């Protein structure tokens, strides 16, 4: 289904992208402000198209921001990173790009492709390659499916563009691009992979921009109806509320291009009842009183207890009152091949098994009908 | 003057390049073995051409290895890094490359372009952009003259090639390429800058491959005639022997992509008479009993006391008996614009003035006539 993103949709998409961001993907408040500005500037909506309407031979690229979310809130984007990188890569290939793919639907990375689409006059496909946010670039369904990482492009805030002409493996692409991103000041615009329409149809996780929109609407609706936003989102995303409480301990460090850390949350009513969460840009592992309750690739997202606003790992602080949501990853991330790249062991948790929450987050309850909002 | 490099020239060029390398540019023994192998494989010489015979509109690129010399002796080159990078950059520009320029004449970087020229069937121009070796890529006469650093290409040992499509300043090119080189394992093949024949004629330091050949011949000749090789090279390079003694202290660390360190040499006859030398890949500053006697961009090179073999900073060790040579930099490196980029302050020595040795190392005495060898 084709649809348009207008100013009216910005808040819902930003909140929903925050929910799917599992702490990462970039600060959605900044993304939201930038998208609203861009929509006003262009005085036109951003066109969203259905993946199945892409011609098989269309030339398409995915776009996203690269870097630690803790950097993104201090070093603001120049705004041209992705636009420059897409233009240069297109010139390099002597092939006009026909549509953009959202590299990851989590955090402001759901929003950057819309901004880039507006600037370049390109439609954006409803779907993405992660169904959430992940910290590393090889952790996407295109790479898992065997799409070559190169040619790819990285743009910095000064207008510089680096093209990775030939790269042998997705992991090497991650290592080289991460390193260059650090040197670029900790954030960059990443254009990869280049694909045909046929490849996109084969590997994309469908409908995740619509899903973000729906989850954002659920949060906004719950605020207006004064019901618990966490429970409402859990129902809409086929998940559950894992814990509710106050952040009482937080260790966070920006190192090697990532925001890494750990937090402890204790129950409002009982100090000994607690949840511990470890993260690398994104929340990876949640333990309740020492027992594993949710692990990557399932989604672990913190919402502000009061109003359901999702909280990125860059915004965590002592004393925040939060609900912790667990949501089942899309089926595409739970194949054996995918779990090798995005399961707990891929993040160094050798002894942590993946015990999936049942289902797929896209199979949650329907969104609140529009007239209820 | 056009000439050919054959197997008979390899040893002299390698030794002379070591003399001009001032400790850096890469281990010349390895370069020498590789060039000899390549000449045997191709069963043809490498063609050296005079810069003034280049058409003004010829498309030319400079090539060199990037990385710390301490890495180069442990992680051997795959041998394809530069060849791949030149090919890809040429494809990227849709322009056949017509000749190669030696990026820096010091160390094995004098030799790599000859190997690449043999592999690609391209002639190599007699001259380079440094007249010696320098640790950073913006420290060359092309950058100083204002030639754009991009497009440029970096190749790794796995066949991967990264193209820097647009880079705003030479310093940024250095930062990005250095970082990526570290991630590539500490060494890479660098192709930059792209130039026209006209630009090359304007900015190249002429005749430095012939100079390396001549200085190597002088060392070889001095061995056969049992005269002091250091004094012979000093005369041939318009320089002087700054000190002779034994290395008694050495601090060397490979950090941030460079071999950085310090050494102390004491006189054979008097322990209190000493020279201290600081280096960053290349020898930068020499002090004799605390007094400054030679600084970058003038050349400071260590030769083995016994046979005049030049010693790279990767090969320094306690107890080596050495002569320290000081040689005046080419005039091209002593303009105000050049000294900003390659003078002591450019290396962080804020309080160290550049007191040039008189002259230009190319104005030394003539080489030993061939029949004396």
Domains of chain B, with CATH numbers? 3-206 (3.40.1610.10), 230-363 (2.40.390.10)
Does the beta-carbon distance from A164 to B160 stay under 8 Å? Answer: yes
The reported pLDDT for the residue numbered A104 is 96
- Residue B92: which of A150, A165, A179 has the nearest Cβ? A165
Cβ neighbours for A168, distance < 8 A, ≥ 6 positions apart: B158, B159, B160
- Nearest residue in B to A174, CA atom: B183
Q: Give the gap in angstroms from C-alpha A168 to the nearest C-alpha of chain B.
A: 6
Higher per-residue pLDDT: B259 or A246: A246
Residues B325-364 have pLDDT tens digits of: 999 999 999 999 999 999 999 999 999 999 999 999 999 8
Residue B240: count of CB within 10 angstroms of its CB? 18
pLDDT at B370: 45
pTM exceeds 0.95 for this model: no
Whether A163 sits inside 8 A of B159 (CB atoms) is: no
Query: Are the beta carbons of A163 and B165 separated by less than 8 Å?
Result: yes
**Substitution target from A183, A184, A191 for chain B, most B beta carbons within 10 A:** A183
The answer, yes or no, to whether residue B64 has pLDDT greater than 60, is yes
Contacts with A184 from chain B: Cβ below 8 Å: 176
Alpha-carbon separation of residue B93 from A111, B103, B190, B195 (angstroms)? 34, 20, 16, 12
Shortest distance, CA B118 to any CA of chain A (angstroms): 23
Report which DSSP code applies to B207: T
Tell me which residue in A153, A166, A180 faces B180 most closely, judged by beta carbons: A180
To the nearest whole angstrom, how far is the Cα of A240 from the nearest Cα of chain B? Answer: 41
Asked if the Cβ–Cβ distance from A162 to B164 is below 8 Å, we say yes
Identify the pLDDT of residue B367: 59
The alpha carbon of residue A308 and the mean position of all alpha carbons in its chain are separated, in whole angstroms, by: 18
Q: Cα separations (Å) of A334 from A75, A132, A137, A205, B265?
A: 35, 13, 17, 12, 64
* CA-based nearest distance A151→chain B, Å: 9
Distances (CA, A) of B16 to A66, B66, B107, B133, B216: 46, 20, 8, 12, 4
Contact B180/B188 with Cβ under 8 angstroms? Answer: yes
Mean pLDDT of chain B: 94
In B, which residues are within 8 Å of A150 by CB distance? 160
- Residue with tokens 């002429």, as numbered in its chain: B206
Measured torsion, CA atoms of residues A102, A105, A107, A109, in degrees rounded to the nearest 10: -10
Q: At what angle do helices A112-120 and A81-93 cross, to 10 degrees?
A: 60
A268 DSSP assignment: S
Instruction: Return d(Cα A63, Cα A193) in angstroms, integer.
Output: 8
Helix (H) or strand (E) holding A289: none
Please give the Cα distance from B364 to B239 (Å, whole number). 8
Over 60: is that where the pLDDT of B373 sits?
no
pLDDT at position B240: 97
Give the distance from residue B206's alpha carbon to the nearest chain A alpha carbon, in angstroms: 32
Quick one: DSSP state of residue A358?
A: S
Chain A partners of B257 at a C-beta cutoff of 8 Å?
none
> Rounded to whole angstroms, what are the CA distances from A42 to A126, A140, B98?
21, 31, 47
What local confidence, expressed as pLDDT, does residue B368 receive?
52
Angle, CA A126 vertex, CA A121 and CA A131 arms, to 5°: 130
**The predicted structure's pLDDT at residue A372:** 41
Which chain A residues are within 8 Å of B153, Cβ to Cβ?
165
Q: What is the pLDDT along chain A (373 residues), one digit of tens a residue?
A: 799 999 999 999 999 999 999 999 999 999 999 999 999 999 999 999 999 999 999 999 999 999 988 888 888 888 899 999 999 999 998 889 999 999 999 999 999 999 999 999 999 999 999 999 999 999 999 999 999 999 999 999 999 999 999 999 999 999 999 999 999 999 999 999 999 999 999 999 999 999 999 999 999 999 999 999 999 999 999 999 999 999 999 999 988 888 899 999 999 999 999 999 999 999 999 999 999 999 999 999 999 999 999 999 999 999 999 999 999 999 999 999 999 999 999 999 999 999 999 999 999 887 554 444 3
Which band of pLDDT confidence, cut at 50, 70 and 90, is reported for residue B69? confident
Q: What residues of A are in contact with residue B175 (Cβ under 8 Å)?
A: 183
Distance from CA of A87 to the nearest CA of B (A): 11
User: Which of A78, A163, A190, A257 is best to mutate for the B interface (most B CBs within 10 A)?
Assistant: A163
């Amino acid at each position: 289904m084709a649809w348009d993103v207008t100013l009216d949709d910005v808040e819902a998409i930003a909140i929903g992208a925050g929910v799917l961001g599992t702490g990462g993907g970039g600060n959605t408040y900044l993304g939201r402000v930038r998208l609203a500005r861009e929509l006003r500037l262009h005085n036109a909506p951003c066109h969203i198209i259905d993946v199945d309407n892409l011609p098989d031979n269309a030339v398409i690229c995915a776009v996203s921001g690269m870097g630690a979310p803790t950097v993104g809130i201090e070093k603001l984007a120049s705004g041209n990173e992705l636009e420059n990188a897409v233009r240069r890569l297109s010139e390099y290939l002597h092939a006009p790009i026909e549509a953009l793919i959202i590299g990851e639907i989590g955090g402001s990375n759901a929003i950057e492709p819309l901004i880039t689409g507006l600037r370049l006059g390109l439609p954006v496909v409803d779907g993405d390659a992660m169904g959430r946010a992940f910290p590393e670039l090889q952790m996407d369904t295109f790479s898992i499916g065997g799409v070559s990482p190169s040619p790819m492009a990285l743009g910095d805030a000064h207008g510089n563009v680096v093209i990775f002409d030939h790269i042998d493996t997705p992991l090497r692409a991650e290592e080289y691009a991460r390193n260059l991103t650090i040197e670029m000041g900790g954030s960059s615009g990443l254009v990869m992979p280049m694909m045909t329409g046929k490849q996109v149809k084969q590997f994309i996780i469908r409908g995740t921009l619509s899903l973000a929109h729906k989850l954002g609407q659920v949060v906004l609706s719950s605020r207006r109806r004064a019901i618990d936003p966490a429970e409402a989102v859990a129902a809409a995303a086929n998940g559950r509320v894992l814990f509710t409480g106050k952040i009482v301990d937080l260790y966070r460090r920006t190192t090697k291009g990532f925001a890494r850390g750990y937090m402890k949350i204790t129950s409002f009513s009982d100090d000994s009842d607690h949840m511990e969460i470890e993260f690398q840009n994104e929340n990876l592992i949640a333990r309740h009183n020492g027992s594993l309750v949710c692990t990557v690739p399932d989604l672990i997202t913190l919402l502000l207890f009061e109003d359901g606003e999702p909280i990125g790992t860059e915004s965590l602080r002592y004393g925040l009152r939060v609900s912790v949501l667990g949501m089942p990853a899309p089926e595409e991330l739970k194949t054996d091949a995918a779990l090798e790249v995005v399961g707990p062991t891929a993040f160094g948790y050798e002894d942590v098994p993946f015990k999936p929450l049942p289902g797929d987050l896209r199979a949650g309850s329907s969104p609140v009908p529009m007239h209820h909002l």
